[in-house]
Chains A and B, each alone.
Chain A
Amino acid sequence: MNLNDLQEAWDREDGGENELRLNAAVLKEAHQPIDSIRKNMKNELYLQLAAIALLAYAPFYYGISGKLLMAYFTLYGLLVTVSGHYFYRFTRFFGKLHDYNANAKDSLYELYYEIRLHCEMYKSLTYLLFPFFLVIGGIIGYNKRTQQLPHEPLFSGDLDWVILSVLSIFFTLIIIAATNRWVNHFYGKHAKSIRKILDELKE
């Protein structure tokens, strides 16, 4: 017997008496990489959005006033503009339908680049937001310190500046490493598996 001998049984396979029904409610979880990424990224971006919204109330909570308040909201305005641009681009990504009409190779390439592009966008948004959070945190800390000890200088010498710079660099590197690990683990794996399928299609 060879594969051709199965032809009759194969041709008879038509799903039997089952009626086709459109019922998206049956799908309790995302079964496509792009849907899974969109679902998780959406939830994480909502959290970031909530954190940004909360930052608007921080100066009032910490009693920041005067020039420091102006500096805070100038920075906050920039933060909202930058993140607004990214959120807009992500919203378009979440609403875009993937083209399943193309041939397998084109469809997979499109999917692969779409995932890679949005992983990189997600990383760059986090890298961009972090310095803002760092400076905003600095303003809050500075304000608290000057309220508690108004007559003492903030830094006692050059060493304090060095420590501050080293700590900033250290935390920035930690955030970059953590973001890369997070994105590669949760989103990059999908790009990797699609890349593997694309490699199977090569000559």
Chain B
Amino acid sequence: MPTKEERLFLENIQPHKGIIYKVSRMYADTAEDREDLVQEILIRLWSSYGSFEGRSALSTWMYRVAVNTAITFLRKEKGKPRIIGDDSPALLTKAFETDSREETRLALFYRAVKELNPVEKALIFYFMEGISHREISAQLGISENNARVKLNRTKEKLQRIIKTYGYEFE
């Protein structure tokens, strides 16, 4: 049974739970790892919650803790293949050809993101969240110019990866 403090904490972060799920989907390859990463992020958020002073928005703080946790996340059983089941590019591309739903495109996007390095994943995540270059630079601890250059390069790299699946993002 969660304590009163835990319940209050979970209620507060519930409206922003998408942050946790999206970061987990970007950084973990298997369903099992995703579940573990969600839990790992929640635990880090909970243990840091006392030091959150409310000087920034709750979501800004959550971005930081979630990305910091995911960047150094260790996968389970490293010997396992990274691509599994319905996440494979061939299946996703086939699904894309027959079904143009946004979810399928998003699945293809997530599949391509998995080929990026941890910093590139963070940049794309912040970009998709609509975070400004200035804010990305503050979250990652790099200069604004560096954030802009790296983000542009990462977007190009992502498009190149998607192209290898037989599809093209403009």
CB-based A-B contact count at 8 angstroms: 144
Query: B1-39: which have CB < 8 Å to A?
Result: 2, 6, 10, 13-14, 17-18, 20-22, 25, 35-37, 39
B102 touches A8 (CB 8 A): yes
CB neighbours (8 Å) of A22 from chain B are 2, 6, 10, 39, 42-43, 46
Q: In angstroms, how far is the closest chain B Cβ from the Cβ of A100?
A: 5
Asked if B132 is an interface residue, CB under 8 A from chain A, the answer is: no
Asked if A194 is an interface residue, CB under 8 A from chain B, the answer is: yes
CB neighbours (8 Å) of A139 from chain B are none
CB neighbours (8 Å) of B141 from chain A are 102-106, 201
Number of interface residues of A (CB under 8 A): 46
CA distance A18 to B142 in the complex (A): 34
B residues adjacent to A (C-beta < 8 A): 2, 6, 10, 13-14, 17-18, 20-22, 25, 35-37, 39-40, 42-44, 46-48, 51-52, 61, 64-65, 67-69, 71-74, 76, 102-103, 105-106, 109, 117-120, 122, 127-128, 130, 138-143, 146, 155, 158, 169-170
A residues adjacent to B (C-beta < 8 A): 1-3, 5-11, 13-15, 18-24, 26-27, 29-34, 36, 97, 99-108, 111, 194, 197, 200-201, 203
